[in-house]
Structure 1
């Protein structure tokens, strides 16, 4: 009886430990995934060993009838139990060995569908200079940290999460969630951390803190407030889950978007098949397929999945035994998330295998549907463009941010910011994709653009925008100042003004255009000349005269 109690108690302890492990580790329990299969194999192996220890009738092997050793495993021969377990381990190893590119190179090559080849200028929208994403992830983190520092009492309670770029109600922003800074802070604020910080991707001065929402569900949190645990136990216990991103719907409500995936070739070739949408406030979770995801969700496809599939397609373009590297290609080092219209894309350069500094084109992959488009453009890789931009300011020691490719007047162009050692943006630069020695640099995006156009005009037969494009047209307008104000951009004063006669048209005038700008006020009569920029709300003033001050003198 005592032995039976000990056995029951031992089993109970094992079950409790197993449940505790499942709760805290939140493993995948689906044996069709490598981690799920490993979980069950280890569990079965431990169970067999444990039961064998408890159930052997004879702890020491006996020789029966002179015919050899015989163990009795609770009425079932031990060799069969060990044999079944060994077979399961063998199947696990065999799946890893068989489902590899040597035997299934076609599956590896074709996981990413054949991209549609398009013209760069016909599909990529021309960028408004006022809407260029000048804030990268690193700078977004810095600006968010500065905003958090404005609230000392809050800064001692929370830390910044990872910034995620997205469009919210048509505006391109970085969103940074706030996380508890430790266990005791979580214990004291179990309703959640106090909100998130929104950083405009196009305006470094547009940073605001949103405290109307609580971020209860967080990565690496405690008990059921942990994001992985919530995703597992509220819909993803038997799913592959990866790539947690913090996104807002168009009303500003915070969610965690967790990608679900399945393996398409044994334990290999993971393929995103939907998302678990976790309410960051309540933990409520809903599951969506790729076709069903709400329109405001920008990203479903993990970046590493896409890059791996592009590389597989290029590696096995002509099969496994392509020793001459014929037509092989690969993604260039690094990638960027960009928005073209309302859609989110991962963009990476495509280079021939063995070529480091030049691209054969760019692959743009929709981050929801995984639809790929290839733009065939010969030119410099992102890293080569960064080196070229840094070379123009090597005396200053500035570092270039990772480039964003964009359409500048019909010409494929890299845009980067140049930062000092304190990681503050000091200059802006445009670099031609087709000729990375064509570089424009300025203290503002407008100045960098003008410099880029001048360099481009001197290095090729046709200017930006086409064969018959004329120099930028200039117009002169006379009127009465209705509003005027100034700001300081990178240490330089820039005035913005509107005229009664031209309504909401805004004019931007750097201080060096005219000394009279500092004394100009509403009601003054002025005459100014500006460069015509079709479709832009703000135009650059190239000359300025205050008629009121002139007549008064």
Structure 2
């Protein structure tokens, strides 16, 4: 049996993201010798250090796969479904998905044309038990909650291609004015762990355009999409080359899995750095860059996602400190009493984590903001400006400890009498007499 690296499917299982791929036959003789393959592989999509799971029979009794795409004769998945009576449309996009008990199923979209042989629409969703071959038919909006996607990505691309050509342009339009086109293939993203969408950046029809006109989020369960006008985002191969060019990538790792997210209210490209080998790619690091400020020097490179996010937040704060307009977030001011404070060394920087009374977030401050930071103690009154990016950890852009007063004569403490300063006496100097 073998495993095709391109066959992994991202999905949510028990509110956690995994990649799942089936074990397939090595050759026709292996297929003739066995009516099933042993099972499938599950890889944690959130923790690169987690051990992959090989789920096979008999350790998991229902793990074996009796029907697969491309298998011989009636073991072929689409042939099995067609011979079971589903002949009224095209059977497309067979996808291996697991329910929350890790039982394997194949989801298949039954497409029917609306104009002759074209204009396919999603009519039904077929869920095939990969272990027994039992078939259940559902309307797209009635599929079980564990099914992540039923709208084929190719159909989404076709719909958005038509929308870009005709929604704001005449039917006869040789110049291409007003037309848009998808900037790439749909990306499967999760608004949260149980809300998958197809994300598709759009650009103008000009082949020289390397920026977006907006972004589509297409529901994976029904024919419904929302367009967000968002111009100026870097797209295409320009994103990959920019992330790869960061100075931190001294080993020349390849860039993979480039996806667009809204992080700290800022459109952001997130990618992984991988080391390519003969048997696949090995995760090495995470790269994050502002989608509107594509530059190799702006890429935040770290071996873990939390560290990269922290660096990115610090970078956004630094942009605000330098007078640059951040692409997301608003500047706010907080004044309050310090409950807790702790310094943390991050590379060459000392970062202070501060909890302020009455605030439900943690604030961070770079030592460069104020020389008072090492002197701050619980109970001190502080005042700071910060960029509100909506996260639970926010960075100060300005900081002052109101309990520490520097310079000047100071203010006398109430209830005490100032001690007069001692004035040194001046001794007279005798004037020599003239001779």
Q: What is the TM-score with the length of structure 1 in the denominator?
A: 0.55
Deviation (angstroms), 1:383: 2.7
Pick from 271, 275, 279: which aligns with 2:125? Answer: 275
Distance 1:421 1:277 in 2: 35
More helix by share: 1
Q: Which residue of 2 aligns with 1:436?
A: 294
Q: Which residue of 2 aligns with 1:528?
A: none
2:89 aligned with 1:239: yes
Distance 1:353 1:260 in 2: 31
Distance 1:180 1:323 in 2: 50
1:450 to 1:321, Cα distance in 2 relative to 1, 3 A: same
Matched residues, number = 325
Pick from 217, 220, 224: which aligns with 2:74? Answer: 224
8 Å CA contact 2:264, 2:391 repeated in 1: no
Gaps of 5+ in 1: 1-156, 479-532, 537-553
1:358 to 1:298, Cα distance in 2 relative to 1, 3 A: same
8 Å CA contact 2:11, 2:97 repeated in 1: yes
Deviations 1:503-537 (A, max 9, x none): xxxxxxxxxxxxxxxxxxxxxxxxxxxxxx9669x
Deviations 1:27-76 (A, max 9, x none): xxxxxxxxxxxxxxxxxxxxxxxxxxxxxxxxxxxxxxxxxxxxxxxxxx
1:187 to 1:325, Cα distance in 2 relative to 1, 3 A: closer
1:466 to 1:535, Cα distance in 2 relative to 1, 3 A: closer
SS at the partner of 2:330? coil
2:166 aligned with 1:316: yes
Q: Which residue of 2 aligns with 1:254?
A: 104
Pick from 342, 350, 355: which aligns with 2:202? Answer: 350
1:259 to 1:464, Cα distance in 2 relative to 1, 3 A: same
1:382 to 1:456, Cα distance in 2 relative to 1, 3 A: farther
Deviation (angstroms), 1:377: 1.7
Gaps of 5+ in 2: 344-389, 394-435
Distance 2:339 2:154 in 1: 47
Deviation (angstroms), 1:291: 2.8
SS at the partner of 1:375? strand
2:243 aligned with 1:398: no
Pick from 309, 330, 346: which aligns with 1:467? Answer: 330
1:335 to 1:383, Cα distance in 2 relative to 1, 3 A: farther
Deviation (angstroms), 1:158: 4.4
Q: Which residue of 2 aligns with 1:411?
A: 266
Deviation (angstroms), 1:290: 1.4
Distance 1:280 1:387 in 2: 40
Distance 1:177 1:164 in 2: 10
Q: What is the TM-score with the length of structure 2 in the denominator?
A: 0.69
Q: How does 1:20-419 map to 2 (within 5 A)?
A: 157-160=1-4, 162-190=7-35, 192-206=36-50, 207-211=52-56, 212=60, 213-317=63-167, 318-341=169-192, 342-354=194-206, 355-378=208-231, 379-393=233-247, 395-419=250-274
Deviations 1:203-240 (A, max 9, x none): 12321111211111111112221111111111322321
Deviations 1:409-448 (A, max 9, x none): 1111110012234332222111111221232122222332
8 Å CA contact 2:48, 2:283 repeated in 1: no
SS at the partner of 1:412? strand
Quick check: 224-233 or 313-322, which moved more?
313-322
1:432 to 1:477, Cα distance in 2 relative to 1, 3 A: closer
1:159 to 1:383, Cα distance in 2 relative to 1, 3 A: closer
CA RMSD of aligned residues (A): 2.7
Deviation (angstroms), 1:314: 0.8
SS at the partner of 2:132? coil
SS at the partner of 2:163? helix
Deviation (angstroms), 1:469: 5.3
Distance 2:237 2:176 in 1: 23
Distance 1:474 1:215 in 2: 57
Distance 1:304 1:230 in 2: 23
SS at the partner of 1:448? helix
Pick from 398, 401, 424: which aligns with 2:282? Answer: 424
Q: Which residue of 1 aligns with 2:424?
A: none
Q: Which has the higher contact order (CA 8 A, sep 6+)?
A: 1
More strand by share: 2
